[in-house]
Amino acid sequence: MSKLEIRFAGSGGQGLILSGRLLFQAVVLDGKRAAQSQSYEPTSRGGFCNSDLVVADREVDYPLVTAIDYLIALDQIGVAPSAAMMAPGALVLTDARLVPEPPEGDITLHQLPFTDEAIALGSHRAANVVALGTLVGLSGICDRQAVGEAVREGTPKAFLDLNLEALRRGFEMADELDQGEPDGKVVRL
């Protein structure tokens, strides 16, 4: 069975669980099987939060991540708990402002201004969706249209325009990285 493991890590309140849920919807729309899980601390704001996704071509046997292929870290607090779970060669996207000490090891790391871009679009709260767009743009885990549809279906009306803008910005950031003109620092370890 071929499978992919994805983790959105950071601090409670950053919309990580929503990102995981949106990506789940998108990959299921794309015809894949998936399981999305979450772990968090009793404090609902602050404290670490992981939102995990296992994507497979058939039914997911064990639904939790064991070797992460894609890590999106939006806050420093999310980095340490994932360190021992990275698959070799994993793609790691971290927030340039909120993750001063990104993970190290056999990974491909992009430090990107998710939060700054979200602020430029109107609210830091959209950083999770900027990151989601970048991840989908870079990885091709699912169709861009599918994640767009998931965002449209899964976002409350008041945030829909902002989230769609954030997603588009995420796609652009992925394209800029692909063209070798990254917004952030690119480190290959």
Partner 1 sequence: MTAGMANLHGNHACALGAIAAGCRFFAGYPITPSSEIAERMSRELPLVGGTFVQMEDEIASMAAVLGASAGGVKSMTATSGPGFSLKQENIGLASMAEIPCVIANVMRGGPSTGMPTRPAQSDIMQARWGSHGDHPLIALAPASVKEIHDQTIRAFNLSERYRVPVMVLFDQVIAHLLEPIELPAAGSLDLVERRWANGDDGYQPYAAGADGIPAMTRPGDGHRTHTTGLTHAEDGFPTQDPDTVTRVMDRLLGKLDQHGQDIEAFECHDTKDAEVLVVAYGISARAARRAVRQARERGIAAGLFRPITLWPFPEQALRTAADQARSVLVPEMNAGQLVLEVERICRDEVRVAGLNRVDGQPIEPSQIARRIEEMAADD
Q: For binding to partner 1 (CB under 8 A), which residues are involved?
A: 20-21, 24-25, 28, 33-42, 60-64, 66
Nearest approach, Cβ of 20 to partner 1 (angstroms)? 8
- For partner 1, the closer of residues 20 and 184 by Cβ is 20
Nearest approach, Cβ of 32 to partner 1 (angstroms)? 10
Nearest approach, Cβ of 11 to partner 1 (angstroms)? 14
- For partner 1, the closer of residues 146 and 173 by Cβ is 146
- For partner 1, the closer of residues 63 and 113 by Cβ is 63
Nearest approach, Cβ of 34 to partner 1 (angstroms)? 7
Beta strands in the chain (DSSP E): 3-11, 33-40, 48-56, 68-73, 86-95, 107-112, 185-188
- For partner 1, the closer of residues 37 and 108 by Cβ is 37
The backbone region for 68, taken as left when phi is positive above 0, alpha when psi lies in -120 to 50, beta otherwise, is beta
Rg (CA), the chain: 15
* Measured CA angle at 186 (ends 25, 132), to 5 deg: 15
Report yes or no: 131 and 151 within 8 Å, Cβ to Cβ: no
